A = this chain, B = another copy of it.
Amino acid sequence: MDIIVLKPSATEEDIRHIVKKLESRGLRVNISEGTERTVIGVIGDTSKIAEEEEDAIRVMPGVEDVMRILKPYKLASREFKAEDTTINVRGNIIGGKKIQVIAGPCAVENRTMLMSIAEKVRDAGASFLRGGAFKPRTSPYSFQGLGEEGLKYLAEARERTGLPVVTELMDPRDIEVILKYADIVQIGARNMQNFRLLLEVGTRDKPVLLKRSFSATIKEWLMAAEYIMSRGNQNVILCERGIRTFETATRNTLDLSAVPLLKQLTHLPVIVDPSHGAGKWDLVAPMSKAAVAAGADGLLIEVHINPEEALSDGEQSMKPAAFKKLMEELKPIAAAVGREI
C-alpha cells in the first residue's frame, strides 16, 4: 500500500486522473479528505509499482508527495521468512549459535605467507580463511592481486587446515574461476550495487558474503541482497564494514546499531568486519567485542604475519598473537549473549 498526498490546490480532475492511472494497474484507492490535505490510499499489491512509477506519480498534477508503506524488498525480509536463515559451509553453520570467525590476510601475497597465516588463525580458533586474489584498489599503481595463482594457494591452505575459503569476486568474467576455488563468494563494498555481479552470483547456489557499501543505507543493502535472492540464491550473508561519515579519525564509522536493527528486518545472518570499519589494528579487538555483544553472527578479521610488509591494508591487520588473545577474550562475551565461539 502506498499513500499519495495531494496539494491543497489539487482539483477534482487531478484526482480523477490519478485514480484512473492507478486503477489501470489493477489497484484500488481509498480517498480520505482531511481538514488540510486530501490523501489517496492505494490498495493492492503495490510491490508491483516499481520506484520509477512512484516517481511518475510524483510528477502528476496535484500530487505533493508519495509515501511508500511496504518495504521495497520482500525475500530478504523477516516478514516473509520469520525464522533465521542458517548457511552450512562444509559443516560450519553461519547464523546459528556459534559465532563464526573468518580470518586471514587482506590479499594473498605469496604461498608461504598464506600457509603460515592459515595455520595460525586455525590454531587460534578461526573457522574460515579469507584472502583476496583479485583486489579492488583505489590506485592503478597499487598491487592488484595474484589472480588464479592466489586462488590455488587458498585451496591448498584449505586442504592443509580444513578451513573453508572466502574470497572476492570483482568481475562477472571471473565467476567460473572463483567458483572453482571458493566456498563463499565475497561481493566487496564497492561492488554492492554492481548489479550485473549480483545477478551473476544470484543464479548460482554458492553462499555469498555481501559487504555493505560504505555509502549504502540499510534499505539499499537489503535491496542488493534481494537482487541476489530474486535470482534464486537464498544463501546471503550480510557484512557490516563501516560507513562513510564526516569523521576522519577512523577510516570509516562502524555502524554496529545496524546489527540489532537487521536482526529485526531480515532473517539473513549478519557479520561484522571491524578491520575495515575502524581501519586501525588497535581498534579491532574492542570493536570485535562490541560486535559480538551487539549480536553479530560472525566476524571478518584481517590477520597478517608482518603488517609492516603487507602489500595492502597493513594498518588494519592484527598479528597472529593479538588475534589469538582476542579469540580468548571473546569467549565470555559470546557466552554473555547466549552464544559460543
Contact A60 B308, beta carbon cutoff 8 Å: yes
Contact A55 B253, beta carbon cutoff 8 Å: no
Contact A136 B195, beta carbon cutoff 8 Å: yes
A165 interfacial by beta-carbon distance below 8 Å = no
State the oligomeric state as a number of copies: 4
A150 interfacial by beta-carbon distance below 8 Å = no
- CA separation between A313 and B51, bound complex, in Å? 9
Q: How far is the CB of A17 from chain B (nearest CB, A)?
A: 9
With both beta carbons as reference points, the residue of chain B lying nearest to A192 in the complex is identified as B190
- CA separation between A37 and B71, bound complex, in Å? 11
With both beta carbons as reference points, the residue of chain B lying nearest to A144 in the complex is identified as B195
A155 interfacial by beta-carbon distance below 8 Å = no
- CA separation between A253 and B286, bound complex, in Å? 18
A184 interfacial by beta-carbon distance below 8 Å = no
A58 CB contacts on chain B under 8 angstroms: 314-315
Contact A52 B314, beta carbon cutoff 8 Å: yes
Contact B245 A257, beta carbon cutoff 8 Å: no
- CA separation between A7 and B213, bound complex, in Å? 29
Of the listed stretches A40-48, A91-99, A110-118, A123-131, name the one at the interface; the rest are far from the partner chain: A40-48
Contact A59 B281, beta carbon cutoff 8 Å: yes
Contact A283 B260, beta carbon cutoff 8 Å: yes
**A130-149 vs B, Cβ < 8 Å mask (1 yes, 0 no):** 00000011111111000000
Interface centre among A21, A65, A223, A308 (most CB of B within 10 A): A308
A220 interfacial by beta-carbon distance below 8 Å = yes
A36 interfacial by beta-carbon distance below 8 Å = yes
Contact A170 B142, beta carbon cutoff 8 Å: no
Given contacts A52-B142, A141-B47, A308-B60, contact A257 B230 (CB under 8 A): no
Which residues 292-341 of A sit at the B interface, judged by CB distance below 8 A?
Answer: 292-295, 307-317, 329, 332-333, 335-337
Contact A55 B310, beta carbon cutoff 8 Å: yes
Contact A52 B312, beta carbon cutoff 8 Å: yes
A198 CB contacts on chain B under 8 angstroms: 140
- CA separation between A143 and B54, bound complex, in Å? 13
A179 interfacial by beta-carbon distance below 8 Å = no
Contact B59 A307, beta carbon cutoff 8 Å: yes
Which residues 180-209 of A sit at the B interface, judged by CB distance below 8 A?
Answer: 190-191, 193-196, 198-199
Which residues 211-251 of A sit at the B interface, judged by CB distance below 8 A?
Answer: 213-215, 217-220, 223, 226-227, 230-231, 243-250
- CA separation between A293 and B294, bound complex, in Å? 9
Task: Supply 5 further A-B pairs (C-beta < 8 A) apart from A51-B139, A246-B246.
Answer: A47-B141, A56-B310, A56-B315, A140-B195, A217-B246
The 7 closest A-B pairs by CB, nearest first: A215-B215, A1-B34, A332-B336, A293-B293, A55-B315, A289-B293, A290-B294
